[in-house]
Structure 1
Amino acid sequence: MESTNVLFEVGLEEMPARFLADTEAQLLEKTSAWLNDARLSFTAIDTFVTPRRLAVLIKGLATEQPDLSEEAKGPQKSIAVDAEGNWTKAAMGFAKGQGQPVENLFFQTYNDVEYVYVNKFISGKEATSILPDFKSVILSLNFPKNMRWADRNLRFVRPIKWLLALNDEAIIPFEIEGVKTDRFTKGHRFLGKTVALKTATDYESLLRQEYVVANVDQRKQIIVDQIEAIATEKNWKINIDEDLLEEVTQLVELPTAFSGHFDPAFLIVPEEALITSMREHQRYFPVRDVAGQLLPYFIAIRNGNAEHIETVARGNEKVLNARLKDAVFFYEEDQKHSIEENNEKLTRMVFQEKLGTLAEKVNRVAAISTTIANELDLNEAAQINVSRAAEISKFDLVTQMVNEFTNLQGVMGEKYALLMGEPEEVAMAINEQYMPRHSQDKTPSTTIGQILSVADKMDTIVGSIAVGLIPTGSQDPYALRRQSLGVIQIAKHAEWNVSFETLLNHVLELFITTDIDIENPDQVKMQVKDFFMQRMLYLAKENHIQADTMRAVMHNNLGVVHDTFEIASILEAKRQDPSFKATQEAIVRAMNLAKKATTNDVKPTLFENEFEEQLYLRIKDMEGSFNQFFEEKRYQEAIELLASLVPAIDNFFEETMVMAKDETVKANRLALLALIKTMVDRIADFTYIEWKQHA
């Protein structure tokens, strides 16, 4: 079959860099779906995106659709034919709708019912008649923000300036809001010119001549190569931040890296503030020496060529030096105010309308932190540091530095606390309370930091849910999902021997004593538990643990988080192990019947056969060891000990009618099984798990 190459380009005013990656992904997905729906085959799709253009090159596009022959099903025969055997209006309407005469209708049985059918032939259309509809793909693109310009009605990411559409050499005709397709594209805004494409496949090479690198991956690699070349030349070390690299790649059409410097006197400011100023405000890459020490230099990316690059560098240096002067001013001014002065200002700052001021939040966090420290049995010195860290945990939020760079909350708190003579453990905790800040971030390294982080997050989560601020869909303004994941990760990695329910109860008891109106604490408790269970399931999936296994372990409570994950990991392995099948079947059978028991008080005098007694004696013989294994967190050994019950359980079921007619005997046998269930429940409810050995 013959094929062509087809190019579509939408030229626009500069788009925000943060929109481009998602837009390119949409363009690829929607183009592919459109071609499949149109029954047009192709060999490949290349997409291109720069701040001023979106483009797609369809390679090896079939010149026409294949012919289509199919059977169309109509109404039932009882509806299609009247009592005299004549076609009804329903049948004639069906035939007309399919473009066929009624004489071509026939009957066929489907699911034991006769229906009327017709063979329909659809002749394939030429691609040239379909391609103008690509306009619908362009208009279907979604953006976080749209705009309307002049007197036009279209809402789009930015005003459309030109449209290019070529089927090999031929223009594909359509227009959007008065902008008609043509063969012209525009080069770099300052270096290039408007050029005409002879054919679709000239696109990349012709744009390159006009100072535009249309391919995102190529632009990104050029930037990396240029940064590494500068670093090698000057013996610098550059840690290329992936997010910053992505942003600068989407800001330029022709990247050229250059270096500059700033006044070394600015290095008195904590490097986090300097780096934030360079990265957030100027999109610069900071520079370090081979030992990792921050240097008074930077690397930036110009949207253009290397001509007059020294002048560009000097201009950027002036801008950065002005920025860093502000940082120095903030840093020096902040140190003129004591921690106590800053804390007093928190009394006038609202955390959340229904949850009070930041000062009130600090008081709650301090109380929660003290409770956790007691549960962890910290020594007196550590408890004093926990209290102090909680007491001053938010003082940096009123500093000028954090007001300017909000992502430095905690970071500047640590720096200022050390300058003001606070213990290192306390200062570190102020920073670590915000960890993990994102999904790939590490958890706090210190016990005090862990406690403060969990206390702060639990206060926000429980308080928000208590006043009705429960996340819905994509709306999570207080980042409760991320914060709950942080609580779980900290408790898991730190191996806290405190159950989640104990922690939650302490937090709820605290809230009840405040002025915050909580109508139904029990309902709040259930909502918070359910919210955290969903996060536990999410993390379980990340750890390759199936949801049913995790639910089995959490059948009563989330429990001690580290232990819950450890038990779930063991059971996840067991469900893949054929040798565990007999254990699983015996335990599940016992647990299903044990759920009918009203007591686990077994009376040996009611036994009617030796197999009841053997099972009872075996349970009593291993009960103590099982409980010891469990208390010592030797869960693998505890589960293996349960497996030793299997022969006695099997013999019991084979020789004993559990649901005996005598109610007293039946109750005693169910109580015997309940003894097994009591032990197994400490591990998990095996009935929740879809055991893989059955697959």
Structure 2
Amino acid sequence: MTHNYLLEIGLEEIPAHVVTPSIKQLVQKVTAFLNENHLEYDKIDHFSTPRRLAIRINGLSDQQPDVEEDAKGPARKIAQDADGNWTKAAIGFTRGQGVTVEDITFKNIKGTDYVYVHKLIRGKKTKAILPEIKDVIKSINFPTMMKWANFDFKYVRPIRWMVSILDDEVLPFKILDVEAGKATRGHRFLGHDVEIKNADEYEQKLREQFVIVDAKERKQLISNQIKAIAETNNWKVTPNLDLLEEVNNLVEWPTAFNGSFDQKYLSIPDEVLITSMRDHQRFFFVRDQKENLLPNFISVRNGNDEYIENVVRGNEKVLTARLEDAAFFYNEDQKHDIGYYVDRLKRVSFHDKIGTMYEKMQRVSSIAKVLGTELKLDSKTMDHVARAASIYKFDLVTGMVGEFSELQGVMGEKYAQLMGEDPAVAQAIREHYMPSSAEGNLPESTVGAVLALADKFDNIFSFFAAGMIPSGSNDPYALRRHAYGIVRILNSRNWNVDLNSLDLDVEQQLIVDNTAFGVDVTKNFDKMLQFFNDRIKQFLEHQEISYDIIETVLSSTQHDVTRLIESADILAKAKLNEDFKNEVEALTRVQRISTKNDVSDQNLDVNPSLFENETENQLFDQIVSIEKDTSDSITKLFNSLVALAPSITDYFYATMVMDKDETIRKNRLNMMTRLSNLIFKVGDLTKILVK
């Protein structure tokens, strides 16, 4: 016999962004609870609205299965005295197992007899176990918690009611002053309290009280209503998925409606209008068939269509007030030139331990120049980079960004265009924030990519120099995201930037040439390199590169992000070849023996006149040839190295590196070290696992 169990937690309105993660967490914890208690079931349905989190366990077994097991007790010499009588240890053991000494048997384990008892554990009835689900309810974690009344208990919002029904029987339990029963609540304004007589009628009973508890059904209904309004008016609407999720978690009985605003506001940039509608009012914006933004919007009411005209007018009024503010700031901001705003940045703090936003722009200008030179950008692009770096934060002190902080960068681009800046410069101002999330969009333009790199490098240099290094989960300045963004940008553009050389160049320009704006980038620089290695590791793991290859390349002697990633790709592909094992074994033999060389004097000269066989000459000529290759390609280097495998094998077969003659030994170790240095540009191949 199977049962269906309904659990509902009724709450004050939960913040929209908390609803979906909370119901997922409830399902996970209930699943774990059932598994821990060995209760079998078919599936779990879940329901959520702003005022409730609920699950229904379908096909739940009537009780736990009976379990037979052998319990091990003390050794025989402890369980019985010299006369064979049972000791207190034996009697206590059997009592604890719910049996008597008459049930004892012995089993020999490695020459020692131990007490064993065979017992049958009867499964508990499901209805006796389920009330303990209250501990699951209390264990749910939320991003924000609160107390209420005189209770010390914290939860996302006050618990107002609970439902706990096994088929049609209440399984009571109590949390604080709320006792679980059959009564639930309908829509706050349209419905009323209702009794759920059976777990299977949950959705229908609440539907009658103007609550759609199935979040998927509710979201689909919203989508259909938006689509119907769009088709009626010949509009194009592509609902933002995040906004759709948020709106869905704000309503229990959705009714979509459309409103409008004065066409004069269309003179404001689309991004401002969209931000006002989508981010501030949770409206869906609409376009005509030619993709032009229209002075209309679609919103969703938590209720039916009664008096919907009043709702429309109220929403239009609120939006108009917001757009009036936007229009005012947009016109006022254009009364000053960019220089005016740049000058104001001298009084805006970037961080009290680092300096002003203006000083940050000076550092970024220097870093951008270093990057542009290293990347061999043409003079026109360099000019655009220099101009963008000198002004790119100016919009932070405009009225529009002060009111709509989400538009930083976006308004920088708009105002730069209006004030006559080159389109490449304007675009870079917007793109320097990219990527704004771990997997967000990357800058499309070269100028934007360089500026984004320079800005992110400065963030990391500055905070590391000030000793504010991320630890654990603590990363208040999003430095991990900035570093990961650098990795993604460099990789996407196949740009080679050695972090070690960047350190020296930036140190020269910022510390020596421009001390007023400088930070000591040499401070904590080793920690910063490790910090970047961790981000490269994260990137490679996302590419499903095996951990041994990741460790191999991160142990290389270079700090060029793109080359490290290239090395990992090469090794991942090469590892699939049947010759890989022999090739790697030859190269790792070189790396291991080179560790015996004392290179403290940095002298790695090799004298061919000391060679005693042809394999030495042959291998050395090949090493020199690879060393002379000025190509930056790691792929070419790796292919050249694996091609040496036969020569390396012949060399070790014919040559004793650790010769008794110190001069000959040193000559051979120098040759091995030079070859090892080439191999280490790819990575420490000794870390690769080969079968």
Instruction: Please give the TM-score of this superposition, normalised by the length of structure 1.
Output: 0.93
1:441 aligns with 2:445: no
- 1:565 is matched with which residue? 565
How far off its partner does 1:204 sit? Answer: 1.2
Deviation at 1:92, TM superposition (A): 4.1
> Could you tell me how far apart the structure 2 residues matched to 1:661 and 1:117 are?
67
Q: Match for 2:528: what amino acid?
A: V
SS in 1 for 2:550: helix
Q: Distance in 1 between matches of 2:658 and 2:112?
A: 47
- Report the counterpart of residue 602 of structure 1 in structure 2: 606
Please report how far the alpha carbon of residue 185 of structure 1 lies from its aligned counterpart in structure 2 after TM superposition.
Answer: 1.6
Aligned position for 1:617: 618
Q: Supply the distance in 2 between the matched residues of 1:417 and 1:397 (Cα, whole angstroms).
A: 13
Which residue does 2:590 correspond to in 1? 590
Partner Cα separation in structure 1 for residue 683 and residue 46 of structure 2: 51
Question: Matched residue pairs, number?
Answer: 685
Residues 262, 557 of structure 1: CA spacing in aligned structure 2 closer, same or farther, 3 A cutoff?
farther
- CA-CA distance at 1:105 after TM superposition: 3.9
CA distance in structure 2 between the partners assigned to 1:64 and 1:466 by the alignment: 62
Tell me the residue number matched to 1:540. Answer: 540
Match of 1:290 in 2: 289
Taking the aligned partners of 2:523 and 2:78, their CA distance within structure 1 comes to 55
Q: 2-side partners of 1:379 and 1:603: how far apart? A: 44
Displacement of 1:557: 4.6
Counterpart amino acid of residue 589 in structure 2: R
- Structure 1 residues 203-212 or 504-513, which shifts more? 504-513
CA deviations over 1:591-627 (Å, ceiling 9, x no partner): 211222346433444444x4xx224324414642575
- Give the drift of 1:511: 5.8
C-alpha deviation, 1:555, in angstroms: 2.3
Q: Percent identity?
A: 44
Q: Is the 8 A contact 1:284 1:298 kept in 2?
A: yes
Contact 2:462 2:519 in 1 (8 A): no
Structure 2 unaligned regions, length at least 5: none
2:361 matched to which residue of 1?
362
Between stretches 95-104 and 539-548, larger displacement belongs to 95-104
- Displacement of 1:523 in angstroms is 5.4
1:77-133 CA-partner distances (Å, limit 9, x unpaired): 565556666555544443333333344344445577654433333211111111111
In structure 2, what is the equivalent of residue 13 of structure 1?
Answer: 12
Q: Deviations over 1:40-88 (max 9, x none)?
A: 1111111111001111100011111111222233445565556666555
- The within-5 A match list for 1:354-503 is 354-503=353-502
Match of 1:335 in 2: 334
Paired with 2:411 and 2:23, the residues of 1 have a C-alpha distance of 38
Provide the rounded CA distance (Å) in 1 between the counterparts of 2:393 and 2:469.
24
AA of the residue aligned to 1:537: K
- Is residue 100 of structure 2 the alignment partner of residue 101 of structure 1? yes
8 A Cα contact 1:9 1:163, kept in partner: yes
CA contact (8 A) 1:5 1:58 kept: yes
In the alignment, the residues of structure 1 paired with residue 353 and residue 111 of structure 2 have an alpha-carbon distance, to the nearest angstrom, of 64
Partner Cα distance (2:657, 2:626) in 1: 27
Partner of 1:143, secondary structure, is: coil
Question: For each residue in 1:293-338, what CA deviation from the matched residue of structure 2 results, as whole angstroms up to 9, or x when unmatched?
Answer: 2111111111122333333222211211111111111111212233
Q: Report what 1:244 is aligned to.
A: 243
Q: Which amino acid aligns with 1:614?
A: T
Residue 646 of structure 1: how far off its partner (Å): 2.1
In the aligned structure 2, how far is the partner of 1:78 from the partner of 1:297?
89
The letter for the 2-side match of 1:620 is D
* Corresponding residue SS for 1:182: coil
User: 2 CA distance for matches of 1:365 and 1:384?
Assistant: 14
Q: Show CA shifts across 1:529-586 (max 9, x none).
A: 0111000011111222233323323324553322322222111111122232221221
SS of the aligned residue for 2:236 comes to coil
* Secondary structure of 2:537 counterpart: helix
Change (3 A) 1:78 1:267: farther
Once the two structures are overlaid, the 10-residue window that deviates more, 216-225 or 28-37, is 216-225
Q: CA shift at 1:279, angstroms?
A: 1.0
AA aligned to 1:325 is: E
What is the CA-CA distance between 1:138 and the residue it aligns to? 0.9
Match runs of 1:600-679 below 5 Å: 600-608=604-612, 610=613, 613-621=614-622, 623-624=624-625, 627-628=628-629, 631-679=630-678
Aligned equivalents of 1:105, 1:353: Cα separation in 2: 75
Local SS of the residue matching 1:302: strand
**Structure 1: gaps (5+ residues):** none
8 Å Cα contact 1:458/1:507 also seen in 2: no
Question: Residues 387 and 425 of structure 2 are in contact (CA less than 8 Å); yes or no, is this contact kept in structure 1?
Answer: yes
Q: Indicate if the aligned counterparts of 1:149 and 1:159 stay in contact, CA closer than 8 A.
A: yes
- Code of the residue aligned with 1:616 in structure 2: it is N
**CA distance change for structure 1 residues 114 and 320 in 2, over 3 Å: closer, same or farther?**
farther
User: Structure 1: how far apart are the matches of 2:622 and 2:11?
Assistant: 79
Matched-pair contact (CA < 8 Å) for 1:533–1:558: no
| CA gap 1:601/1:85 in 2 versus in 1, 3 angstroms | farther
Residue deviations 1:390-413, cap 9 Å, x none?
A: 221111111121112112111111
State the AA in 2 paired with 1:118.
V
Change beyond 3 A, Cα 1:549–1:7: same
Q: Relative to 1, partners in 2 of residues 1:218 and 1:665: Cα closer, same or farther, differing over 3 Å? A: same
Distance 1:656 1:478 in 2: 56
Helix, strand or coil at the partner of 2:524: helix
Distance 2:24 2:352 in 1: 40
Contact 1:462–1:507 (Cα < 8 Å) also in 2: no
What does residue 32 of structure 1 align with? Answer: 31
Indicate conservation of the 8 Å contact 2:557/2:681, yes or no: no
Separation in structure 2 between the aligned mates of residue 82 and residue 419 of structure 1, nearest angstrom = 99
**Residues 396-439 of structure 1 deviation map (CA, whole Å, 9 limit, x = unaligned):** 11112111211211111111122222222222121111111112
Q: 1:188 to 1:554 in 2, by over 3 A?
A: same
Give the conservation status (yes or no) of the 8 Å contact 1:107–1:115. yes
Aligned twin of 1:71: 70
Letter matched to residue 685 of structure 2: F
Distance in 2 between the 1:550 and 1:647 partners?
26
